[in-house]
């Protein structure tokens, strides 16, 4: 009975936002991009704040062993943006690459994903 009363009271509020994983909204370079020049950095923008200190990122050739990479503390514009990851890259020779990330969103969910891109020319 008490549960029914609570449901009746909350019904006019509509649906409440649910906790969700951090989702990549935008990346530079774009997913599956074919680039003439190797990028100096990768930027990932998420739909929510992420815990950068707990983020893990690796990059490697598509069929090679990935190597850990560091993330920058802020974006190229100098703004502290809690929904962005900026990953500086070493010079990359031509080839296919996979950047893998594992982030913790502010709501406590872990998201893993990968960004693939190809470099056709030199850095």
The pTM (predicted TM-score) of the whole model is 0.77
Query: pLDDT of 25-76, one tens digit each?
Result: 999 999 999 999 999 999 999 999 999 989 999 999 998 999 999 988 655 5
Per CATH, the number for 20-119 is: 2.60.40.1220
Report domain extents, the chain: 20-119
DSSP structural state of residue 11: G
Q: Among residues 15, 87, 76, 98, which one has the least CA distance to residue 50? A: 87
Query: pLDDT of 75-111, one tens digit each?
Result: 555 557 899 999 999 999 999 999 999 999 988 999 9
Note if the bond before 29 is cis, omega within 30 degrees. yes
């Amino acid at each position: 009975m008490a549960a029914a009363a609570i449901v009746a009271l909350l019904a006019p509020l509509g649906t409440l936002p649910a906790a969700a994983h951090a989702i990549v909204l935008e990346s530079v370079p774009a997913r599956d991009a074919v680039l003439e020049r190797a990028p100096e950095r990768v930027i990932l923008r998420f739909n929510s704040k992420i815990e950068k200190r707990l983020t893990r990122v690796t990059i490697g050739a598509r069929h090679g062993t990935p190597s850990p990479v560091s993330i920058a503390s802020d974006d190229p514009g100098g703004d502290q943006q809690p929904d962005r990851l900026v990953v500086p890259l070493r010079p990359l020779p031509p080839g296919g690459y996979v950047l893998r990330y594992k982030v913790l969103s502010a709501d406590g969910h872990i998201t893993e994903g990968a960004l693939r891109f190809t470099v056709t020319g030199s850095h």
